[in-house]
């Protein structure tokens, strides 16, 4: 399957899946269980609305989601209390698989969710979405239910908009367009067909997730796409247009940290795959500048993209899933 065929056959719009009654019936026919994971860190302002929307529309009205869980990194606000108040199962990431130790990062929460949650399909939704709607979940889950050959579904948010001189281009965020799309175009051209490869919303089959190593930080989405592509091919990946996502924008300096972590992950994978060779040992310190009067000061951030092993290699997980006997 070339990139043009893939874009035509494996790109969806959430409106294609409007018939939730039929979608639920198909889920039950296939004997699938769906778990929704919301990773959090200090999201008390938005987490309540997300839980309310998903529970009322996708658990009570249409029983598409069987389990709704918040995996928290140690919020210092009322994120956990609000989520629990509105009916989510709430877990501290540090309490899950305690024998594996505690690490900080979104990727850590996503990895531990594989152990804690029970679904055959796990859908991850960021906690900071201001315009949350049920289609953020069902638009990602539906391709996995209707198309057994699809294993990993990413979200994208914008649509082409008519303009006076034609059509405005569609694309991802700043880090996607400046870093990831050029890298994918150079080294993994097929993956350049993903409109927003760094989106925080995606749905994946358990038997895929449990085989993936997980960077604990910014590189998790990039690593997933490369690993799924290399193991199962482009045809295993799909993407769904969710129209619009409203959330807070990050400062450019924070995007620099994100790009630094992603680049570490990308280069380490490219080296292991033999795509690039003779790389020096990668540094882990990002240097940025601030000015105080006439003085330029260097700020140093130690950002090491440590990775968790595939969950299926963890003895506790194998026992929990009954994989050894």
The mean pLDDT of 175-201, rounded to a whole number, is: 95
Question: pTM higher than 0.75, yes or no?
Answer: yes
The pair of three-digit structure tokens given for residue 191, joined into one six-digit string: 């993956």
Q: Side by side, which strands form the sheet with 152-156? A: 11-13, 237-241, 152-156, 202-205, 121-124, 34-40, 67-72, 89-92
- In this prediction, residue 162 carries a pLDDT of 45
Whether residue 250 has pLDDT greater than 90: no
- In this prediction, residue 246 carries a pLDDT of 78
- In this prediction, residue 104 carries a pLDDT of 86
- In this prediction, residue 251 carries a pLDDT of 80
- Average pLDDT over all residues of the chain: 92
The CATH number of domain 3-320 is 3.40.50.300? no
Using 50, 70 and 90 to split pLDDT, how confident is the model at 169?
Answer: low
Q: CA 259 to CA 254: how far, in whole Å? A: 9
Q: CA 120 to CA 139: how far, in whole Å? A: 17
More confident residue, 148 or 280: 148
Is the distance from CB of 138 to CB of 17 less than 8 angstroms?
Answer: yes
Is the distance from CB of 213 to CB of 223 less than 8 angstroms?
Answer: yes
Q: CA 299 to CA 285: how far, in whole Å? A: 10
- In this prediction, residue 171 carries a pLDDT of 60
Is the distance from CB of 218 to CB of 262 less than 8 angstroms?
Answer: yes
Query: Which 3 state secondary structure label does DSSP give 38?
Result: strand
Q: CA 314 to CA 309: how far, in whole Å? A: 8
Entry field: residues in the chain: 325
- In this prediction, residue 57 carries a pLDDT of 98
Whether residue 8 has pLDDT greater than 90: yes
The mean pLDDT of 208-231, rounded to a whole number, is: 96
Number of H helices, E strands in the chain: 12, 14
Determine which helix (DSSP H) or strand (DSSP E) holds 212, and give its type and residue range.
none
The mean pLDDT of 49-56, rounded to a whole number, is: 98
């Amino acid at each position: 399957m070339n990139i043009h065929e893939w874009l035509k056959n494996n790109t969806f719009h959430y409106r294609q899946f409007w018939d939730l009654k039929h979608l639920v019936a198909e889920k039950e026919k296939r004997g699938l269980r769906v778990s929704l994971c919301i990773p959090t860190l200090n999201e008390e302002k938005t987490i309540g609305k997300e839980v309310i929307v998903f529970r009322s529309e996708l658990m009570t009205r249409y029983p598409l989601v069987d389990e709704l869980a918040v995996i928290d990194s140690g919020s210092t606000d009322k994120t956990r209390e609000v989520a629990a108040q509105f009916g989510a199962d709430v877990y501290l990431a540090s309490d899950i698989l305690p024998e594996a130790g505690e690490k900080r990062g979104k990727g850590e929460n996503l990895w531990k969710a594989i152990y804690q949650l029970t679904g055959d399909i796990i859908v991850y939704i960021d906690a900071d979405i201001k315009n949350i709607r049920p289609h953020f979940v069902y638009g990602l889950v539906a391709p996995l239910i209707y198309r057994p050959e699809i294993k990993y579904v990413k979200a994208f948010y914008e649509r082409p908009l008519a303009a006076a001189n034609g059509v405005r281009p569609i694309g991802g965020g700043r880090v996607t367009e400046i870093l990831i799309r050029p890298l994918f175009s150079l080294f993994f051209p097929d993956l350049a067909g993903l409109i927003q490869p760094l989106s925080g919303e995606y749905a994946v089959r358990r038997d895929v997730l449990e085989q993936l190593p997980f960077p604990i930080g910014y590189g998790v989405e990039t690593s997933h796409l490369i690993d799924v592509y290399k193991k199962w091919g482009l045809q295993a990946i799909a993407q769904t247009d969710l129209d619009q996502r409203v959330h807070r924008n990050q400062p450019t300096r924070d995007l620099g940290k994100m790009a630094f972590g992603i680049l570490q992950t990308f280069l380490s994978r490219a080296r292991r795959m033999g795509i690039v060779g003779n790389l020096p040992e990668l540094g882990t310190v990002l240097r940025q500048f601030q000015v105080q009067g006439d003085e330029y000061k260097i700020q140093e951030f130690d950002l090491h993209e440590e990775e968790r092993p595939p969950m299926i290699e963890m003895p506790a997980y194998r026992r929990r899933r009954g994989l050894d006997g």
